[in-house]
Amino acid sequence: EVQLVESGGGLVQAGGSLRLSCAASGIAFEDYAIGWFRQAPGKEREGVLWIDNYERDTFYSDSVKGRFTASSDNAKNTVYLQMNSLKPEDTAVYYCAAGLAVGSYYSGFEENEYDYWGQGTQVTVSS
């Protein structure tokens, strides 16, 4: 059974930091690209960043570039999302997702590129 489990969400003040984790099981982790998405109340889910399954390069959306970074620990089958300089507009449920063919035909920020999804973790940034 494939599982992606996010953790690390919580409440933080604007300007603060949080680190989310996405632990994967049931897949050959190194073969999969990992994406982070978020969905704010009343809004569609949007791609935040994704890590490819070749060189583990990371691609960022403009909304988080320079503030968020991602890293991957293949030994632990875990991807981390370090979020700095958080803003109230970063408030959302954050999801990680895994896919085999991410970025091959689309940008890497499309939901339909991903095969597996986690349950999400809430991040709330207070002003």
Mean pLDDT of successive 10-residue segments in the chain (127 residues)? 96 98 94 96 96 91 97 93 98 97 89 96 97
Residues 6+ apart with CB under 8 A from 35: 47, 48, 49, 50, 51, 96, 97, 98, 99, 102, 108, 109, 113, 114
* Exposed / middle / buried, residue 64 (Cβ in 10 Å: 0-12, 13-18, 19+): buried
pLDDT of residue 105: 84
Residue with tokens 């960043």: 49
**Number of neighbouring beta carbons within 10 Å of residue 95:** 23
